Amino acid sequence: MTDTHLNGSGHDTHQHAGTAPMVEEVTDFEVLEIALRELAIEKGLFTAEDHRRYTEHVEQLEPAAGSRFVAKAWLDTEFRRLALDDAITASREMGVDWLHPTGFGTPSDFTAFEVLEDTPTLHHVIVCTLCSCYPRPILGMSPEWYRTPNYRRRIVRWPRQVLAEFGLYLSEDVEVRVEDSNSKHRFMVLPVRPDGTEGWSEEQLAEIVTRDCLIGVALPKPGVTSNAVRPVHPAIRPVTSE
Catalytic amino acids? 128, 131-133
Question: What is the distance, to the nearest Å, from the Cα of residue 163 to the centroid of all Cα atoms in its chain?
Answer: 15
Residue 29: CB atoms within 10 A of its CB come to 11
Count Cβ atoms below 10 Å from residue 160 Cβ, excluding itself: 15
Give me the amino acid identity at 180: D
- For 109: left if phi > 0, alpha if psi spans -120 to 50, otherwise beta; the answer is alpha
Write the CB contacts of 226 (distance below 8 Å, at least 6 apart in sequence): 210
Report the DSSP pairing between strands 4-5 and 175-180. Answer: parallel
Query: Rounded to the nearest 5°, which phi and psi values hold at 181?
Result: -75, 165
DSSP state of 180: E
Please report, in angstroms and rounded to a whole number, the separation of the first and last CA atoms in the chain. Answer: 29
